[in-house]
Structure 1
């Protein structure tokens, strides 16, 4: 029982380290033009940072020993045509830092125009619709079949943002989306490491044992088709091996400690040392009492040899007399030495009834007077 508990604790710790390792696992990131995204890594657990860009769009990776300042402002604009099916959603993703502003303007081209939903959604996992600062939607007087609209947003949190266009018409539509973005960027002039993905892959090592900050930046090329990159934190395996080894040592010492305590408890239960002056005399009328005389409920009563067994010799060694009994079953079929060997062995069960042995008690005999 004790071993299973400690094994469960060790398993929990192992899972915890696995989760920690998973935190620094591979991540597929979606970026956009003029992105400046900050990530943090501990060099105790991470040896290298690696970025893979199969499209070779020219993303840059910067490394810092201290957190850089979010102090630069860059303005850029882009346009995109979207063909949106009936009751379908389309859009594109951007990474925007706190303090950035984004203005959307769109024109819908359709023979029949009933309605359109254009929203900005925040989050990579938990999606939240961002409320615009300004929002207008009207029909162009010169061409009633076309519609336009505008919306402006203030970014209050560093996160991934998705410009979503939902077509609620009974036919597919073509929409022209124009963006004007004032993006807040990190200052990369004091970077200690730098590499580019123009060849598809870049990496650099982290100096041990400091925390490091990593900046991902993309150029301003107006490409809104999506920047799909794979970011990898290559683990410092020596750290994980050392931690798991330490856990194994602690668990082993704990098991030894509790094992020693269990042995000490068994030893403390030994009552009255065996003497050579207390032989079993079958020719005399005797009564059997137990070493402590305590009337503990867990102490069974040793039955007479006529009721349980034939003879008074240990059923294990067939040499020494039976001079002990087993708690809790109460069987007295062995000598004290054999009973201790069973108790200290792997199979701690009574040789008669196979119940688990808690304690071994010696017994002695008292001759009746008169």
Structure 2
């Protein structure tokens, strides 16, 4: 039967039984008997070998690997838990320290046939199955136990007792694990949620960084003042793209208080408008040229040409003049 437990069941049920095995061993032959024993079990063996002058090798080995290794070199005890040469009558005892399958075997290494009788008394410790939450018998086919995640659970497989089976019966159990689709769905869903949250927080962080950068640049821009103050456009520009520069440069004559020819004082604003239309050199012609590369517009084309030919520097900024361009009005 198959039992299911939430925790390890106690190993406190004692079961004792006896077996008798009588066999004749031909030369270079052996015979073995298999038992699965839990930790704490005990094996008592009494034997009788005839003729008494003959001897056999008696071993107890753990698992199929141990049996195969012993059969390769039966005269060497390295792979056996217990290895003895037996003859006549005697008794052997062994305590089991690990739950596993064990082979009790005898081998005839000599050329003559030998008879042997083994009386086995096995004191086995079994698991207490009274607290099992799941029980299934294989008479109805396969048994299925659902695994508990993440704590896990315990499964105990039992076989019929020695009184209910033949000593030569062998049981084969196939253990397989089936997928639990809900686990795959939950895992994939959880991974998807984590990825979406990561993308969401990443985008929010990027947007916050962009906003902080934009605010920083905006504050810097609001604190900056233009290098050239803006003034209302008037007729004095004469269509020049450089007049905005020349308007920022105050002429020496614009700072003086003047009077008209009739002796009446004139307002400073009106005087500034008049002087900005006239050449600052000759005060006769309009300001119809500008200097390159500085762009100042303070003279008529004739005076500007003379300045370029004579001094070669702008009278306002003292930069070297390369060309004088005439401004044509429409």
TM-score by length of structure 1 reads 0.42
Of structures 1 and 2, the larger Rg is shown by 2
